[in-house]
Homo-oligomer: A and B are copies of this chain.
């Protein structure tokens, strides 16, 4: 059996940065070639970044992606890296977008993979299965492929597939079995969800069994707006053995020597690089309507496998849920800040758990020099709140300031007749104006600190504490905020480092401190109860009766559901944040604002 040294480049592209992304490919290919790789694979839509959304409809962008691919092939060859095949995702098109009057059925933009070799694009493949649920909208953008591309590399037949192709039975992987391939390369832009790594491995194993072939799964890593890609690249054999697996949330070049079956039939025609020939009537391939396109690169099997020692990529250890989520939040924030060109962030520090957690995430993501924390006490702020905020600043080393809001609040109150909730909201809005003024003056990105429970029930002030360009906790239930804070502190203690979050911020009862003695529990059920109901209603799409049947107090269920339904309006205007579960408020939760439907009895 030939032994191939595979290199899976788990890298972090940026949407729209065609030149920068191509440079990453050249750099990682250089490293892989130096390490003796026989085949190198990069993630889905590597050249453009992912997802590109409506940029697909801009013909100039499609043209730029295609030009960048040709340029990349030439650049790799010019750098002396042309002899090793490179699989890379990009945006292609064989016709105008389907929204165009000039559209042709079956043609249009394509989510594509190419094999680059010898300075040429020697093969390409168009994704078959286009996800159109949750955060995915690929039916809007792409036309599905109907061809399987098989490339003979070092005597092994290798099939190309992309992301969602892996999640569907009976598709390209079944066709790959009939085409008799030894390896399926699957390139991904697969966003992180809680415990998604627990789903991925069994899925890859099932598909490897279906294909009867080893699968090389490579995923991107990094934050893109509300999405976080976690990497978790791996190689799994046809019998389900996990050979190697990369860690999540970091860049990684996963190198592993894999024994693969030699192709049994000599490929037809001459082995001219860059010449694709359709299979000569393989009946298996024809059976499901999939045409197989075979490309012959090389029959030269590495004599005794790659030179030197056997390379083993190892199997990265899995971490706890809290560690995984924390890393996702840190990576999502870091990339949002850096990729959008912000130098620093500013956070309102109340002394409470949410702002403390956001500050700790920000310091982990950017370092203390790039984080400004402002305490903005009012007449209702307790002494312990100010102390806890100052303590947090001391523990983390962030740039700490205090700006009392009472003079500005008083100026409004002197000129307007306000009472009750209006006065409470006014304080939050004065803080918002203050944060934005500092942001404008000094160039920081404002971070919002509202957790998912608050956002769900509307327990926040529109244009007040909801002000900000990014919200790390947007998709984190309050109960989980506490767990994460405890985990982060314990993890620091384990490492002999300073726990960043004041114990008092974790243990004290939560309060918005917008009126004397106010507590969250005045307005909301206990967070354990609240979050259990919200998880069912928001994440699970359970109805009112389902929630009652699950044992919740009907009166509390009705109260919570009414709060959520009324809060939809606020949520539509909240800032984007990192996504860590399958459903979040934001891009993938699409509900009418104008809606009279109510689960609960009125």
Contacts and interface: CB of A to CB of B under 8 A. Distances in A.
A594 B437 contact: no
Nearest to A139: B139
Contacts of A15: 592, 594-597
A407 interface: yes
B59 A541 contact: yes
Given A15-B597, A52-B595, 13 more contacts: A15-B595, A16-B595, A18-B597, A54-B591, A55-B591, A60-B544, A60-B546, A132-B132, A137-B137, A223-B594, A335-B594, A412-B434, A432-B463
B433 A597 contact: no
A598 B58 CA distance: 11
Nearest to A407: B411
Contact of A16 (B417, B418, B576, B592): B592
Contacts of A49: 592, 595
A550 interface: no
Interface residues of A, number: 85
Contacts of A415: 403-404, 407-408
A98 interface: yes
Interface string A412-424: 1011111101100
A18 B596 CA distance: 8
Contacts of A576: 572, 593
A422 B403 contact: no
Nearest to A575: B573
A410 interface: yes
A592 B418 contact: no
Interface of A: 14-18, 20, 49, 51-55, 57-61, 64, 98-99, 132-134, 137, 139-140, 223-225, 335-336, 339-340, 403-404, 407-408, 410-412, 414-419, 421-422, 425-426, 429-430, 432-434, 436-438, 440-441, 462-463, 467, 469, 541, 543-546, 569, 572-573, 575-576, 589-599
A53 B592 contact: yes
A17 B597 contact: yes
Which A-B residue pairs are the 7 nearest by beta carbons?
Answer: A16-B597, A60-B543, A17-B596, A411-B411, A422-B440, A16-B596, A16-B595
Contact of A441 (B132, B407, B418, B438): B418
Contact of A408 (B16, B408, B591, B597): B408
A277 to B, nearest CB: 33
A414 B406 CA distance: 12
Contact of A133 (B99, B411, B469, B544): B99
7 contacts: A15-B596, A16-B597, A52-B592, A60-B545, A421-B440, A432-B433, A436-B462
A139 B139 CA distance: 7
A588 to B, nearest CB: 9
A59 B225 CA distance: 31
A14 B594 contact: yes
Nearest to A430: B433
A128 to B, nearest CB: 15
Given A139-B132, A597-B18, A590 B417 contact: no
B425 A436 contact: yes
A594 B18 contact: no
A111 to B, nearest CB: 15
Nearest to A419: B441
A543 to B, nearest CB: 3
B140 A597 contact: no
A577 to B, nearest CB: 12
Contact of A426 (B17, B410, B433): B433
B463 A340 contact: no
Contacts of A404: 415
Contacts of A98: 133
Contacts of A434: 412, 416
Given A543-B58, A572-B576, A597-B17, A403 B421 contact: no
A252 to B, nearest CB: 22
Nearest to A413: B437
A592 B225 contact: yes
